[in-house]
Amino acid sequence: MSALEEIQLVSVTAALEFYVKTGEIPVALVKKAGQGPDDRRGATERREVAIHDARPIAEQLDLDRHGFALLSRETAVRDFYDDDELRRVYYPEMERLVAEATGAAKVVVFDHTIRVEDERKQTERKVRAPVSGVHNDFTIRSAAQRVRDLLPKHEAQARLGKRYGSINVWRPIVSPVENKPLVICSYDSIDDADLIPAERHYPDGRIGGIYYLAYNPAQHWFYFPHMQGDEVVLLKCFDSLTDGTARWTAHGSFDDPNRPPDAKPRESIEIRTLYFFD
């Protein structure tokens, strides 16, 4: 990170899953939660990278420069597996959080995903596994389409003419996180040439678009060790500005080489939002 590169950060070395440019569009056939991993088409490779502990620089991180931030935020949610409680309690909490963090006039939570490392619990709870392949949740085209999908036609047209974007809010359900932590590549170290547009084909027929990331030694990778239940990471997944403001990040998970032998299986929730400026 250009402004922080002189700070000496502790790091671990671990393998991340990258995609390889072949000239073909990678495709994921998305299964329903709890039905196992998606069927994927696309070439991947695993690369060992240094992943830096970002806690010492947490207060210097800026969403509009680096694309991610760590915040402390309590929640009134008691059962993260209760969808009704999530929509009633957690969605409004996260809409307020993203509005405060960005200054946006309107924030809409449109989706959440719970990810669990334990395979038996994935099936029992009908939830998904942590994602290993590093990616960003939107492309330029799919972000605009998601606005059209979710807002009334006239409002969507007006909103697309002004600044808009998407932020994910990531929180551990079981803490501290001892394995499969969230790993993040800062926006200011991502070369647009390393972004690989890919498609996600959903059971209802919808086709979404994401960016996978190809390996580049210039990338800077970060994580927040031992995240607690009152901590959240905000991840920029899209921003319509093209003036140098952070537009996206890349993120995934990894096997922490420092995990204890009896590490707790990861359980986390991701909230996906759209934010709009007047």
pLDDT per residue as tens digits for the range 56-99: 999 999 999 999 999 999 999 999 999 999 999 999 999 999 99
- State how far the alpha carbon of 158 is from the alpha carbons of 103, 161, 164, in Å: 18, 5, 11
Residues 162-179 have a mean pLDDT of: 98
Q: Would you say residue 6 has pLDDT above 60?
A: no
Domain boundaries, the chain: 11-276
Q: Is the per-residue pLDDT at 1 higher than 50?
A: no
List CB contacts of 57: < 8 A, sequence separation 6 or more: 1, 4, 7, 9
Q: pLDDT-derived band of residue 34, with 50, 70 and 90 as boundaries?
A: confident
CATH code at 11-276:
2.60.120
Strand, coil or helix: what is 160?
coil
Q: What is the pTM of this model?
A: 0.94
The CA distance from 134 to 35, in Å, is 21
